[in-house]
Amino acid sequence: MHSGKRALTGPARLAAPLVAVLAAFALLLGLPAPGAHAAETAEGKTFVIGTDTTFAPFEFRQDGELVGIDMDLINEIAENQGFNVEVRSLGFDAALQALQSNQVDGVIAGMSITDERRQIFDFSDPYFESGVQMAVAESNDEIGGYEDLEGKRVAVKTGTEGQTFAESIADDYGFEVIAFAQSAQMYDDVKSGASVAVFDDYPVLAYGIKSGNGLKTVTDKEAGSSYGFAVNKDANPELLAAFNEGLAELQESGRYQEILDTYLDAGAADTSFWALLKDNAPAFAKGLGLTLLATALSLLFALILGVIFGFFKVSANRVLRGVATTYVSIFRGTPVLVQAFFFYFGLPQIIGQPVDVLTAGVLTLSLNAGAYMTEIVRGGIQSVDPGQMEAARSLGLGYGKTMQKVIIPQAVKIMTPSFINQFVITLKDTSLLAVIGFAELTYQAQQIYAVNFRTAEVLLIIAALYFIVITLLTQLANVLDKRFNK
C-alpha cells in the first residue's frame, strides 16, 4: 500500500518544478500550460464509469450506497478536476464488456495493469500496489503452504491478480483452479470444503478476514502488479489525463492515504439476524420494487407478443406462420443470459447508442416469455375441438365471430393455468438480470453478502421474499381465473 504511494508521488514531486517552469513559459508565449488542454476538455463533462459489484474494500454497498477505495478516488478526482461521473455497478467482466462496447467511458474496479490488457485499454498511472496471499478455512490445519495443494482444488475470483498467480503455479504444485464471479462465492466454496484454499488480492482478503469471512492466511504476500483506471485504446485521453492529475493532487495533499486508511483498517460489524434484516431493509425494498416493475412490464409486453404470434401460428398464411415459428425458435432456443448480454452489450454496437439496463432487461424477459406464451396461445386454440368451428360456421357465423364468440372463450380457460405458470417463471427469471447490473433482489443480495459475508442468511431472506411474492401472485391469478372462467 505505502510502496504504491511512494512510487506514484515521487515522480510527481520531481516533475513539479519542471511543470511550473513550462507553465510560465507557456503563459509568456500565449500557449496553454502542459496538461491544461486535457483538464479543460474534461471539465464540465459527464463520464460514465463502470465498476465491479462486489470487491470490498475497493467497491461495495454500505447502507445502499456504493462506497470503497475506488469509489472515493474517482469521485474526489472528478470533483478536483471539475468533471462529473455516473457510476454503473456491473461486475468485473460485464464492466470490461461495457467499456469495449462504449457503454461506459472508463472502468475502475481494482483492475491489474497487464501487458495483455494494455493491448486493448489505456491505463492511468497506478493508484494501488497490490499482491497475492493464500488463505484456508479457519478450521483447516492441514494446508500450510503451496506444497500441500497437490491433487486439490483452489478458488479464485475471475479477472483478479489472485487468479493469474494461482494459474501460474498450478502445474508446479499440481492443483486445480476454479474461478468464481464474486469474492463471497469463492470464500464460501472454501468454507464448505469444496475448495481447500483461496488465492486473492491481499487487501481484499485482509478486509474479508476482518469482516468475518471464516478464513485465515497461511502464506506471506507475493509481489503483485498495480491497479489502474482504464479507458478504451486511444479513446478519452482527456479523461485519463484528468484522472492522473487529480490522483497526483490527492496523493500530494495526503487525502489519498486517508482514503486507504478509512477502508483498509475497517471491517464489517457483526450483527444479529434481525439487525441484518433491519439494516438492509431499504436495499431489499428497492430490489423487490425493481423486480416487480421488471416483471409487470415484461409480462404486459410478453402477453401482447404471445397473442399476436400465437394467432400467427394458427393462421392459414404461410408467411405469418413462418415469422411466428422463427421468433419462437430463436427465443426458446437460446439461453436467457445470452439474450440479456446481447440486448445490453451487443445491441448498442448495432444501433450506435447505449441501452438502459431496465430497457435491456424488459426486452430480454418480454421476448423470451413472449415466445413461450405464443406456444401457449397456439396450443390453447388448437385444443378446442375442430367441430366447434365447423358447427359455428354451419350456423352462418363468420371466421372472426366464431373465434370471438366460440373458440377464444374456450381456449382462454385452457390457457390460463399455463399463463399463471409463465408469470411465475418470468418473475424468477428477473434474478438473471443481476449479471448486467439490474438492481433487483438477487443483485441486492450480492451487494450485501459481499460486505458482511453472511451468504446463507442473506439468501434465506431473498428466497423468503421471492416465495411470498410468488405465492401472492399465484393466489391472485387463481382468484381471477375462477372469477372470469366460470
pLDDT score recorded for residue 46 = 94
pLDDT score recorded for residue 464 = 93
Least Cα distance to 154 among 183, 132, 176 occurs for: 176
Cα 478 to chain centroid distance, Å, stands at 35
pLDDT score recorded for residue 33 = 43
Binning pLDDT at 50, 70 and 90, where does residue 303 land? very high
pLDDT beyond 90 at 331: yes
Pairing outcome for strands 106-107 and 46-51: parallel
pLDDT score recorded for residue 14 = 36
Give the DSSP per-residue string, 383-452: HS-HHHHHHHHHTT--HHHHIIIIIHHHHHHHHHHHHHHHHHHHHHHGGGGGGGT--SHHHHHHHHHHHH
- Cell numbers given for 441: 433482489
- Cell numbers given for 345: 452489450
Mean pLDDT to the nearest integer, 107-132: 92
398 or 458, which is more confident: 458
Say whether 130-224 and 2-127+228-264 share the same fold: yes
Which helix H or strand E contains 195, and what residues bound it? none
For residue 112, the 8-state DSSP code is: B
Pairing outcome for strands 153-157 and 197-201: parallel
Least Cα distance to 185 among 434, 449, 429 occurs for: 449
Where are the chain's structural domains? 2-127+228-264, 130-224, 275-484
CA-CA distance, 465 to 245, in Å (whole number)? 47
Binning pLDDT at 50, 70 and 90, where does residue 275 land? confident
440 or 270, which is more confident: 440
pLDDT beyond 90 at 336: yes
214 or 334, which is more confident: 334
Superfamily of domain 2-127+228-264, CATH level 4: Periplasmic binding protein-like II (3.40.190.10)
Report CA-CA distances (Å) from 96 to 77, 199, 232: 21, 22, 10
Mean pLDDT to the nearest integer, 121-138: 93
pLDDT tens per residue across span 83-93: 999 999 888 88
Answer yes or no: are the C-beta atoms of 143 and 193 closer than 8 Å: no
Q: 162: which strand partners?
A: none
pLDDT beyond 70 at 8: no
Cβ-Cβ contacts under 8 Å for 351 (sequence gap 6 or more): none
- Topology given in CATH for the domain delimited by 275-484: MetI-like fold (1.10.3720)
pLDDT score recorded for residue 22 = 39
Pairing outcome for strands 60-62 and 121-123: unpaired
**Separation of first and last alpha carbons in the chain:** 71
For residue 373, the 8-state DSSP code is: H
Of the CATH numbers 3.40.50.300, 1.20.120.140, 3.30.300.30, 3.40.190.10, which one belongs to the domain with range 130-224?
3.40.190.10
Answer yes or no: are the C-beta atoms of 204 and 43 closer than 8 Å: no
pLDDT beyond 70 at 36: no
CA-CA distance, 261 to 265, in Å (whole number)? 6
| Dihedrals phi, psi of 141, to nearest 5 degrees | -110, 5
pLDDT score recorded for residue 466 = 93
Model-level pTM? 0.64
452 or 102, which is more confident: 102
CA-CA distance, 379 to 386, in Å (whole number)? 13
Half-sphere CA count of 125, side-chain side, radius 13 A: 19
Answer yes or no: are the C-beta atoms of 475 and 298 closer than 8 Å: no
Q: Is the bond leading into 57 cis (omega within 30 degrees of zero)?
A: yes
pLDDT beyond 70 at 371: yes
pLDDT beyond 70 at 288: yes
